[in-house]
Structures are given as C-alpha cells and as structure tokens.
Amino acid sequence: MLRDAQRMSFYKENIISIGDAVTEDLIIKELNKRSVILRFPDILESVFLEYYLHHAIVQIRLSLFLGMFLYAIFGILDAWIFPGMKRQLWIIRYLIVCPGLLFAFLYSLVVKKELTIQLVYSLVIILAGSGIIAMLIMVPKDIGNIYYAGLMLVIFYAYIFSRLRFVFATVCAWLITLIYVFVSVNVQNLYTPFIVNNTFFLVSSNIIGMGSCYMLEKYVRNDFLKTALLQIEKIQLEKSNIKLQELSYIDGLTNVPNRRQFEKALREEWNRALRQGHPLSLLMIDIDNFKLYNDHMGHVTGDECLIMVAEVIKSFGRRPGDHVARFGGEEFCVILSGTDSTDAKCIADEIRKKIKDMRIPHPASQVSEYVTVSVGVATVVPDKGRSKDELLREADKALYMAKKRGGDCTVVIDITDSADKQ
C-alpha cells in the first residue's frame, strides 16, 4: 500500500508538472498503438524515464550490491582451483571489477539522472564480463572453461536482475559475447568445436535474455501508461469536485459567496481572531424598501439591482481575512478581520455612499429617490466566553435599529464596550 501511494504521488507531481502536454488522448493513443518499439513521444518518454528510475532504483542498488558480493565470493574458487594464480586472478576480481561495481553502487546513491545511471551500470557490467574473459585467458585452456559459466551468469544478470532497460542490457550482453568470441578465436585459439559450442550457448542466452528483458520493460511501460491514465482521470475528477464545491459556495445571481460560505468564513475568522486577540467586525447590509422596488420595477430589474449592489460591496472585501457574502434575499454581509468598530463604521458609511452615488432610481422608496442601504455593524474582540453567534445576533440587532431609524444609516454595536455608536 505504501509503494502504491508513493507511485501515485510520483504520477501526480510529474503529470501536473508538465501541464497539458501529456493529455488523456496521448496516453490512450499510446496504449492502442501496440508498437514493438520501446519508446514514447519525447514529452511522455521523459516522464517515463523518471518513473522508471523511481520505480527501479532500489532494485538497481540491490543488484549492484549483490553482484559485487557474488563476484567477490567467487574468489574462494580462484584460490581453491588455481592457488598458484590466485594473486593475478584477485587483481582482476578485487582491484578492478569489484571497485567498479562499488563505484556504480555509490554513484546510484547520489545521482538522480536515469540515463547516466544506466550508462555507468552498463559499463561496469561490461567490465565484469571482460574480467571473466581476462581470467579465461590467464588460466590453462584445458580447465579454464570452468570460468565460461560466469559469462552466462553475467549475461542473465544484465537482462533479468540488473533492471537495465532493454537497449542497454542488449548492448552489454552482446558486446560481452563478441569480446568472448574474438578472444577465444584470436587469443586463446580454442578448439573449434569448443568455440562453436560456447558461442551457441551465449547466443541462446542472449536470445532468451532479450525476450525476458523486452517483455519486462514492455510490461513496465504499459503499467506506466495505465496508471498515468488513471491519475489524469483522478486529477480531472478532483478539479471537477473542487469546481462543484466552489459553485456550491457561490450565489448564482450575484456571483459572491453565499450564506453557506459566509458561515464557514465567519467560523474561521472567529477562531483566528480568538487565537491572535485582534478585533473582528461584521457588517449586515440590507437594501432599503427592496420589496417595494421589486413590486414597482419588476423582478428582472430587481435582480439587476442586486447584482450592482453586490459589485459595490464586493469591492470592500479585498484584504486577506475580509469576506463578502449574500446572506439572503436583499441582505449582504461583510466580515472585516482585524478591524475595530471605528474603522468598521467608516467602511460601512463608504459602502452606503458608494451605493447611493450609483443613483439607481427607486420611485417607490420611502427613504430616497435612489436605492439606499442600511448597515448594522457589530464588533468584538473574541474570547472564550463569547461565540460567533453573539456577533451575528448583535449585527442583526444593529441592522434592525438602522431600519427603525428610517434607513440609509449605520448603527454600530461594540460588544466589547457594550456601547452603541451612530
């Protein structure tokens, strides 16, 4: 489960990082292509190579460590079978090949580039195979072929256990085979049937190894595509869910947050003000005589009026911690974080003035010939003995008082001071 989570995390980071270049259509096209070539289009191939290294690096390090261990442990056979030549054989084994494997292992711990790791790993595998061939040259021909089995081990190691990609494993194994054939013919001068027999087995090992390595990389590539496709679909679903969630918090008419979002924001700002000890103000704004406006001007014009008023109010909620919402009907709310009652009243009066200055005709108004608003303001420095509901009640109470005073005015209730200000 942890490995699956890490793999999905890799996809999310890398698919998002390359933006729209890797699309669902591109991945589906590659899945349906059924190409025998082990390569994707460049933009997708670059992500796959990162994924391949991310997916295989642990096994690469393990195979290097175990390869070094096995190569070293066979030194016991050197001492047992050829005690008189063990020093020369150990020079190849312990001073050339094992240090090369150790270097590749340490290199894989610090370098994160897939291509360079593959190249370095390929070179040390060729070095390991060449080391065995060098031993074959050094020991007597009549019993030297006992080292021949080591070449087959190296070839299978390159194809199956090393996690080299197909192209690198193939180049390594065939190069080792060609070096062996050249040496056996031109340096060792082996009996022809031995050369043919050994070459036949090496070629057969290469063919079997190529098939296995090819199928393994093909499987990994298909798994990459399928999982990437699932991840893209998941990202798209997450985006859709976020958009739906955002829509559920937005008032469809005025395009400002709705009451649901207001309650969420009020809860968050209350808790923040409680932690930090700063004041919190709440403005409740109501359009004066809006029912008469609807009756006289019609609901379509009434909706247009609500939209214009909302735009004005929204312009006063730009600071971090400030929130504007449609509370319901013709009522709007503004949460002002870190704002005391004096500043909150100034903002409320500016909102009233700006709305009135729009000169939206209101022939049926009992307050003014233009659309006006009344504002109730409540301010408090939250403490554990109070709640956000008290702030909401006091703002509603202040709005009621403003309406009772004829509208187009602001009433402030500072809960901390328990004093009314107009």
Distance CA 87, CA 129 (A): 19
Q: What size, in residues, is the chain?
A: 422
Helix (H), strand (E), coil (C) string for 303-323: HHHHHHHHHHHHCCCCCCCCE
Q: Any idea which residues carry the catalytic annotation? A: 330
> Read out DSSP for 160-190?
IIS---HHHHHHHHHHHHHHHHHHHHHTS--
| Rounded Cα gap, residues 361 and 359, in angstroms | 6
Judge whether 386 and 279 are in contact, CB under 8 Å: no
R_g of the chain, CA atoms, integer Å: 39
Closest of 101, 211, 209 to residue 158, by C-alpha? 209
Rounded CA separation 295/306 (Å) = 14
The token duo for 47 is 């992500």
The tokens 């299978």 sit on which residue?
A: 156
Q: What residues are paired with 282 via a beta bridge?
A: 335, 378
Coil, strand or helix: which one is 414? strand
Q: How far is CA 267 from CA 81, 246, 273, 413, in A?
A: 82, 18, 10, 20
